[in-house]
Amino acid sequence: MSNKKIIGLDISDYSIEVVEMEQEGADERIIAYNRLVIELGIVERGIIKNKKKLADAIKQTFASAKPLPISSNQIVFGLSESRIFLHFFSVDNKNMGDLPKRIKDEATSIIPIAKNDMVLAYKVINEENGGAAKNILAVAASQSVLDDWKRFFKSISLDLTFFDIESLASFRGLFDELPAKPICLVDLGAETISLSIFSSFGLEYNYQMQYGGKYISAKIAAGLRIEQAQAEAMKKETALLPDGKNNAAREILQTAFTHVSEEIKRNIDYFLEKHPQYSEIEKIILIGGSSRFKGLSEFFAEKGMSKVFAYQNSNLKYPELSIEYLEAIGLGRRFFQGYWQNDPLFVSEKNVILKKIPNIKRLLRSDFFKRIYDLPLKIKIGALAVVYVLVLFSIIPENKKSIDEKNTPEKAGLPEIKKEEKDIVVPIPDIPVEVVKIKKIKIQDIGANLNVRVSPDKSAGIASQVKSGAIYAVAEEKPDWFKIEYEKGKFGWVVSRYVDEISSE
């Protein structure tokens, strides 16, 4: 890869960021970059809605890049986090067997993607309890979504090297190596807020809040009865700490970011509880467009969050580029930097997790087979006859056993012949009828929709969301969790602290 060029391509619902990089000795450098704000509706939460307009926008971004147009075509693409499922879990080393199969079984039981549509990549993070267990990060995506993007890139003559993951790319855009102590990266995006904790082992924790800057703007617009565009402009001008301006908007912002700070603290506490080897988080770094709020770091400090740092361009290796290029830079660096090679990613083939198939051509050219080729013809024929007889005699007992099993009445689909039996009448006891009381819960108003998870675990995949004020019957209860039927025939788990129990019936 030493003299090759690579393009880091980041496409969101709102913009395209692109950087072209090339190797420079043991390092890499950016040779071209550009950013283009795109029309709403071209891409929606990682799904292409208008291929023609997106193709035109990418071509425009490449053609108008600075300082020169981008002419190469090999890309690393960051798949939208809304189309990625991350699952952290442990695997007991006892009777581990086929590790990829164990991981696949775990992922398919937890992640809400159809088994025949799931593409899975994984990484062994570390071992614990003296090697008794392995901590695993499994990353899943929909094959149909990946195929749609692959076909699209091929149609515009872009050579897709692999799909990368947003949170990993953003970290690479900031740092040259993994931290000695845990660092929390909070990406305050337009649609979602992503919290990722990195240690010397890599990404160890990730949590998605299903709201972002767009939701906060909508709250300001509704609260002040103004247009969304006005609310967006006011949001950018309003400081979180008092400065005598936009007091009404400030109150709305403070309410929203108070909830965000509580969610960040709750997740960090949960991470430290599950990872007692760490005493604290070294620092919290705020990135994403909404990290630019005036006074955000100071506001979080007032809420009890120390060591919070808002992103500054000077933190980057490339200070001339704005915060929006962070992920695109990290995508490009993944191609060059050797110490990122263990990060999970999705290549162009479907069976990412399956074992590698031996190279048959290489096997046939080995010294062992060359010696066989040199043997006299009679010896070759004799050896084949012996192998045939051995295989034949190993198959016959199994075939006889399977035939015998098939010939039993029940295996053949016939009723079993029994000796004559008298009818047995079992009296039905008089059982008192117990009135079953169904517990119900009401979703609290937390300023956003509440996540419904596929299992009672804060790191489990998100199956859906429910609105505040909605009432659900409790199907099952566990400490800190309620299981509800959020849609007909679909069940999931909600955190008990965000619901109110109401009278049973």
Please give the span between the terminal C-alpha atoms of the chain, in angstroms, as a whole number.
67
Say what the pLDDT of residue 372 is: 56
457 in a domain, yes or no?
yes
Q: Of 315, 350, 377, which one is at a domain's C-terminal end?
A: 315
449 part of a folded domain: yes
Maximum C-alpha span of the chain: 100
Comparing 194 with 240, the larger pLDDT belongs to: 194
The verdict on residue 235 lying in a domain is yes
Single residue among 275, 300, 315 that ends a domain in this structure: 315
Whether residue 109 has pLDDT greater than 60: yes
Residue where a domain stops, chosen among 283, 315, 347? 315
Q: Residue 260: helix, strand or coil by DSSP? A: helix
The tokens of 257 are what? 């970011």
For the chain, give the mean pLDDT: 79
**Residue 108 maps to a domain:** no
Report pLDDT for 213: 85
Rg for the chain, CA atoms, rounded = 29
What CA–CA distances, in Å, run from 144 to 47, 213, 307?
11, 29, 42
| pLDDT tens per residue across span 3-31 | 689 999 999 999 999 999 998 777 788 99
| 195 falls within a domain | yes
Contacts of 107 (CB under 8 A, 6+ apart): 87, 118, 120, 122, 138, 140
CATH of the domain at 454: 2.30.30.40
Q: What gap in Å lies between CA 34 and CA 16, rounded to an integer?
A: 8
What mean pLDDT do residues 37-43 have? 94
Q: Check residues 51 and 346 and name the one with the higher pLDDT.
A: 51
- Per residue in 487-504, pLDDT (tens digit) is 877 888 898 888 888 755
Is position 326 within any domain?
A: no
Band (pLDDT 50/70/90 cuts) for residue 387 is low
pLDDT given at position 306: 80
Model pLDDT for residues 298-317, shown as the tens digit of each residue: 888 888 888 888 776 555 56
Residue 361 has a pLDDT of 35
For residue 450, tell me if it sits in a domain.
yes
With left for phi above 0 and alpha for psi between -120 and 50, is residue 41 left, alpha or beta? left
For residue 229 the two structure tokens come to 């565009």
- Three-state secondary structure string covering 165-231: EHHHHHHHHHCCCCCCCCEEEEEECCCCEEEEEEECCEEEEEEEECCCHHHHHHHHHHHHCCCHHHH
Q: Can you give the pLDDT at residue 375?
A: 63
Residue 221 is part of which domain span? 177-315
For residue 166, what are the contacts with CB-CB under 8 A and spacing of at least 6? 78, 79, 80, 81, 84, 187, 194, 327
Is residue 79 in some structural domain? no
User: For position 261, which CATH number holds?
Assistant: 3.30.420.40
- Give whole-number Cα distances, 463 to 175, 402, 490, in Å: 32, 43, 9
Mind listing the pLDDT tens digit for each residue in 228-269? 888 888 887 887 777 667 678 888 888 889 999 999 999 999
Whether the pLDDT of residue 436 is over 50: the answer is: no
pLDDT digits (tens, 9 = 90+) for 262-291: 999 999 999 999 899 999 999 999 998 888
Report how many domains make up the chain: 2
Cis status of the peptide bond prior to 376, with omega within 30 of 0 = no
Confidence of residue 212 (pLDDT cuts 50, 70, 90): confident
* pLDDT recorded at residue 393: 55
In this model, does residue 417 exceed pLDDT 60?
no
